[in-house]
Structure 1
Amino acid sequence: MLLENSFEVPAPVDKVWVYLLDVERVVPCMPGAELTEILDDRNWGGRVKIKVGPVSMQFAGTVTVEERDEVAHRVVLKARGREQRGKGAASAMITSTMEPTAGGTLVKVVQELTIQGQAAQVGGGMIGDITATLTQQFADCLKANLEVEESASGGENVAPMVTSTHVKGGSLAFKALVGAIGRFFRRLLTLARHP
């Protein structure tokens, strides 16, 4: 399944690039994620917890930097994980690119996601909606942390780094349901216009 998301950060590309490559700074912004080990500068171990409605899943696995282009501000990550209490598995190739904009940096994230087991039963549309919600929460956390760093560099007394809150299953399920209803009505309107 191919998932595409993007967000803008009000900071220069080089600053966003350095931040996004620092796993210890990035993981706290990922909802439900925990860094368990740093194997080397290209390989990490971690866990991800997610709850959608009554279904709760926890995956443990690894992330590897497959490709890193400093000039193009492009990084490709390979993630693999197994469900810790079930038979499910997930893998993804995640390509992130950054480009300058008038307001800062546009970050584009393309994920080629493969899931098996209980998580696969959720459905592609709902997974897309959940991914969009998680990406927005990540972006909000990233923006807040970059603002904190900017204030700190100005010598101001600033608050500690921001971390992402865990997403509640009801919230994710509700947002996914709203997305599914929206897709249904868009299809219905398209069919009504083109019988």
Structure 2
Amino acid sequence: MKFDNSFEVPLPPAQAWALLQDVQRIAPCMPGAELTEVIDARSFKGRVAVKLGPVALTFAGTARFEELDEATQTAKVKAQGTDQKGRGGAHAVVGFALVPVPAGTRVDITTDVTLSGAVAQYGRGAGIIQAVAAELIGQFSERLRAMIAADAPPATVDDAAVPPPPPPPLAPAAPIGGIGLLWRALMSWLRSIFGRG
């Protein structure tokens, strides 16, 4: 299944481009994600936990930047993972494109996801999966903007002032899930269906 999302960050494109490649720094902003190993500058291992009502899924796998084009500020990431309880797997190809906007940079995301095994049964409704992805990206972007704001220098600079200590590392985001998420995803999916009529 394919779907598109976007979010904005309050940074110029050059800074946003550098930040979005810093996986170790931004991974804690993603709900339910845990970076477990840096294989090399482009390859990573990790886990992602998602809960939909009574169904809790935890995928362990790898992600790799297959393409990084600084001139066009576009990237492609391939990711694959398997559910730790053996219920199937997920493969995704995610494209990113940075676009300058008045408030900073918009990040346009195109995702192509394939689910296999029993996990595919949970993802039968593409609208539900899209709504969950939108919720994940929404929470990620909120935490990312909060991290950027915390790292921003003070508005006024006093040469005699002692620089503030570096901000503490961002605590990992809690796994996304629960009844609230399922309800928001269901309502979003129903709005998309009835909105077509």
TM-score normalised by the chain length of structure 2: 0.88
Report deviation, 1:168.
2.8
- Residue 141 of structure 1 contacts residue 162 of structure 1 at CA under 8 Å; is this kept in 2? no
Q: Distance in 1 between matches of 2:59 and 2:154?
A: 35
Distance 2:35 2:98 in 1: 24
In the alignment, is residue 149 of structure 1 matched against residue 158 of structure 2?
Answer: no
How far the C-alpha of 1:162 sits from its partner, in A, is 4.0
For 1:97 and 1:66, locate their aligned partners in 2 and report how far apart those are by CA, in whole Å: 14
Quickly say closer, same or farther: Cα 1:39–1:152, change in 2 above 3 A: farther
Q: Following superposition of structure 1 onto structure 2, how do residues 5-84 of structure 1 map, counting pairs within 5 Å? A: 5-84=5-84
Letter in 2 for 1:133: E
The one of 158, 163, 168 equivalent to 1:160 is 168
Q: What residue ranges of structure 2 are gaps of 5+ in the alignment?
A: 158-162
Per-residue CA deviations over 1:32-73 (Å, capped at 9, x if unaligned) read: 111111111111111111101110011111001100011111
Identity rate of aligned residues, in percent?
A: 38
Instruction: Give the deviation of 1:89 after TM superposition.
Output: 0.7
Q: Does 1:180 align with 2:182?
A: no
In 2, the alpha carbon distance for the partners of 1:152 and 1:37 equals: 34
TM-score, structure 1 as length reference: 0.89
Are residues 112 and 184 of structure 1, via their aligned partners in 2, closer, same or farther at CA, if it must alter by over 3 Å?
closer
Q: Which residue is equivalent to 1:193?
A: none
Could you give the per-residue CA deviations for residues 90-147 of structure 1, whole angstroms, max 9, x where no partner exists? 0011111111111100100111111113332232000000000000011111111111
**Greater helix proportion:** 1
Q: Which moved further from structure 2: 145-154 or 73-82?
A: 145-154
State the one-letter code of the partner of 2:70: E
Q: What are the ranges of 5 or more consecutive residues in structure 1 without an aligned counterpart?
A: 191-195
CA contact (8 A) 1:35 1:47 kept: yes
Instruction: Give the deviation of 1:156 after TM superposition.
Output: 4.7
Matched residues, number: 188
**Which residue type is aligned with residue 149 of structure 2?**
E
Cα–Cα, structure 1 residues 40 and 158, in superposed 2: closer, same or farther, change >3 Å? closer
Kept in 1: contact 2:151–2:167 (CA 8 A): no
Root-mean-square deviation (Å): 1.9
The Cα shift of 1:160 comes to: 3.2
3-state SS in 2 of match to 1:19: helix
